[in-house]
Every structure is written in C-alpha cells, then in structure tokens.
Amino acid sequence: MVKTMYDFKEFYEIGEELSQIDDEAHIRSAINRDYYALFGESRKYLVEVKGKTYLTTKKGIHTKVCNALRYSNNSTEKYIGDLLFYLIEIRGFADYDWKEKNLDYFEKVFPKLKEDVKKGLDSLNYLKHTNN
C-alpha cells in the first residue's frame, strides 16, 4: 500500500464552511484553516515533487517552507512563498491575539486572504502539473 500525504485542500473547504457564520470565532478559525490549506499543500509539493525531504521535520517548519519557496528561482514558487509570508502574520493574529486585533480587522483582511489562498492553491496545482 502506498502511503500518500493528507489532502490539505480540505482545510480550505472547512474554512469556507466556517466563514459562513459571521462572528469573530468563526472568521478567526476560517483564517487558520485557509492558511493551513496553503501551508500544507506547499509543504507537500516541496517534499513530494521537489524532493526536499528536510521539510518533513516539525521544528521551524513554517519558516522553512516559506523560505524554500520565497528564495526559489521559480517565479511561481516565489509568489506562493510571499503569500505564505504574508499569511503567517495574519494567521498568528487570528490564533494568538486577543488585544490588538478585533472583528473589524479580521472582516477587513479575510476576503483578500481567501482570494490569495485560492490563487496560491491554484498556483501549486499548476506547478504540480508542470513539474511532472
């Protein structure tokens, strides 16, 4: 039996469901799921397609995945890495901040974040089909 990695795009679908309820907890949770959809698929791409097995570790993995893409010679990979770099901060606010950011902030950034994650997932899909 061939073991395959989890389909992280399912997190995006869960984020879509969460975002249908317009309150702070659901929007924060949707941001988290959307970020992890792009992060997980990016990591899977780097390991399975690009052979970067050092990215199977857990310590510092978010920065490592982001940097592997941001500092790539491939413009599409750089684009995805830049998206992750931007999304890491917003996801951090959604998960950990209870003072500085509020519902107004999350309602403002969420539509663009959702669009960016979709574009990032589409870009990864393009890369997977052009690298095989």
- 35-48 residue pLDDT tens: 999 999 999 999 99
Q: Does 18 reside within a domain?
A: yes
- For the whole model, what pTM was predicted? 0.92
Q: How far apart are CA 74 and CA 38, in angstroms?
A: 18
Position 1 scores a pLDDT of 43
DSSP string, 88-106: HHHHHHHHH-SSS--HHHH
Instruction: Specify the 3-state DSSP secondary structure of 108.
Output: helix
Q: Does 64 reside within a domain?
A: yes
Among 15, 26, 10, 14, residue whose Cα is nearest residue 107: 26
Q: How far apart are CA 77 and CA 47, in angstroms?
A: 14
- 89-117 residue pLDDT tens: 999 999 999 999 999 999 999 999 999 99
Q: How far apart are CA 101 and CA 108, in angstroms?
A: 11
Q: How far apart are CA 132 and CA 105, in angstroms?
A: 40
Work out how many domains the chain is built from and give that number: 1
Q: How far apart are CA 20 and CA 98, in angstroms?
A: 22
Q: Does 2 reside within a domain?
A: no
What percentage of the chain has pLDDT greater than the value 90?
89
In degrees and rounded to multiples of 5, residue 36 shows phi and psi of: -65, -25
Q: Does 3 reside within a domain?
A: no
Residue with tokens 């990864």: 124
Q: Does 14 reside within a domain?
A: yes
Domain that includes residue 44, residue range: 9-130
Q: Does 4 reside within a domain?
A: no
